[in-house]
A = this chain, B = another copy of it.
Amino acid sequence: MPIEITAQLLEQLRAALERADRDAVLLLVEDLHEADLAEVYNELDPDEAHFVYDCLSEEQQAELLPELDEDVRETLLSGLTNQEIAEAVDLLDSDDAADLISELPEERQEEVLSRMEDEEHSDDIAGLMNFDEDTAGGLMATELIRVNLKWNVATCVREMRRQAEEVNEVYAVYVVDDNDVLKGILSLKKLLITPVRAIVEDVYNPEVISVTADTTSEDVGNIMQKYNVVVLPVVDSLGRLIGRITIDDVVDVIKEEASKDYQMMSGISEDIEQTDKVWVMSRARLPWLLVALCGGVVASRVIGFHESSLMVHPEMAFFMPLIAAMGGNVGIQSSAIIVQGLANNTLSRSGIFQKLLKELSVGMLNALACSLLLLAYNVAFHHSLALSFTVSLALMIVILFACIFGTIVPLTLDKHNIDPALATGPFITTTNDIIGLFIYFMVARAMYGLF
């Protein structure tokens, strides 16, 4: 049952740490799940963290490390010797081990690997460290169970027993040929219900979905989601089985992708959390504010250019914020739909022209609704006809323009391999502000000439 880290537990732990009472510390933390212990670590200072680490068993130490927040782990590792790290890494799955060693300063990496007891394990880890972290190779672990096509079930089970010693969790059994080329999977269910004399070749499932090591993590996430698989085998360019990715690692990728898009839209340029330091948060947020600031300055110049009209018709200023805000909102809606569609692979197969046409139809419907409402309001509140028609007509044009802009920009960015999410957020609102004001004054000039 998951537990809440209580203030009481933290208080007791702090008291035990103050007395440097190892037994009391151990008693408090030994039954915690490593994920809960990692949360406790967020509240400890480096000396306390090191003391608690020393109290743990070797297994607990190893399990704790991958669960820690990156900055907490960095501090803790910097206080450990290479030997201590090597001992922990020896007990970790290869994917977690490779991630952990990659975070160490380069001069320590070699040293830690060479101090590991299990040489095969350290070779595997060194191999994994060569892959880009945003690819299937960077996500995969090498621990898996493989059986040969020609074995019978009894041999399989015997071999699986041997291999299982190395593997922490068994989710699937992979079937390979003599060249180690992945041929299919043998489900545990099949293994359970098949007579022991049966040959693997006759009972395995050849329909297996696999990826190559250079597949991007985003694609890995999409594939696992689409095909509902919990573990995905990874092959090299010759189709040989080299690793497997479990979905729990991919869930993190999926969440990171989603929160990257979210932060981009909210005008935050780094992955930050509310618990980060003030200056880190400030640094992540300032760039987009400066973009908006520049946009505001440009907008001020557009308005300044029409100062003479404003002197004659100061009421024109009334609806400037409305026009700017509506353009920004529609632009965000349009681009958000494209960005999500690109992320989830759910865009229609039609060309950019069809997509624009559709978006313009949606825009036209909403533009008509908003413009007519606004016209009714303005006429009812006795604003001049010139102003009333200016505002409504400008609003329509601005909305349609924002639809076009919001659709084309993310699609174009994506085509040039730039993150389309850049198109959402302050950039699009700022640009729409400026263009919206420009359109507004153009329409006003025409209208005030008419009436």
Binding site for B on A (CB under 8 A): 1-2, 7, 33, 35, 43, 157, 160-161, 164-165, 167-171, 187-189, 192-193, 207, 209-210, 223-230, 246-248, 251-252, 254-255, 258-259, 261-263, 265-268, 272-275, 278-279, 281-282, 285-286, 288-290, 292-293, 295-297, 299-301, 303-304, 307, 310-311, 314-315, 317-326, 328-330, 332-333, 335-338, 340-341, 344, 346-349, 355, 358, 361-362, 365-366, 369-370, 373-374, 377, 424, 426, 429-430, 433, 437
CB proximity of A240 to chain B, nearest CB, Å: 14
Q: Are B225 and A289 in contact (CB under 8 A)?
A: no
The answer to whether residues A230 and B247 also contact, given A171-B171, A300-B322, A346-B274 and a CB cut-off of 8 A, is yes
Partner of A230, one of B223, B246, B332, B340: B246
The answer to whether residues A263 and B336 also contact, given A299-B322, A365-B282 and a CB cut-off of 8 A, is yes
A-side interface mostly: helix
In this complex, the member of A171, A289, A321, A348 whose beta carbon has the largest number of chain B beta carbons within 10 angstroms is: A321
Q: Are B366 and A285 in contact (CB under 8 A)?
A: yes
Partner of A247, one of B35, B248, B319, B370: B248
Q: Are B255 and A332 in contact (CB under 8 A)?
A: no
Residues on B with C-beta less than 8 A from A189 are 164, 167-170
Q: Are A374 and B293 in contact (CB under 8 A)?
A: yes
The answer to whether residues A430 and B325 also contact, given A268-B336, A314-B311 and a CB cut-off of 8 A, is yes
A79–B286 alpha-carbon span in the complex (Å): 56
Q: Are A310 and B299 in contact (CB under 8 A)?
A: no
A-B CB contact pairs (8 Å), 19 listed: A157-B192, A224-B251, A255-B258, A261-B262, A274-B355, A275-B348, A278-B362, A281-B362, A290-B369, A292-B326, A293-B326, A296-B326, A300-B319, A301-B318, A314-B317, A317-B320, A321-B321, A321-B433, A329-B429
Partner of A315, one of B161, B207, B226, B304: B304
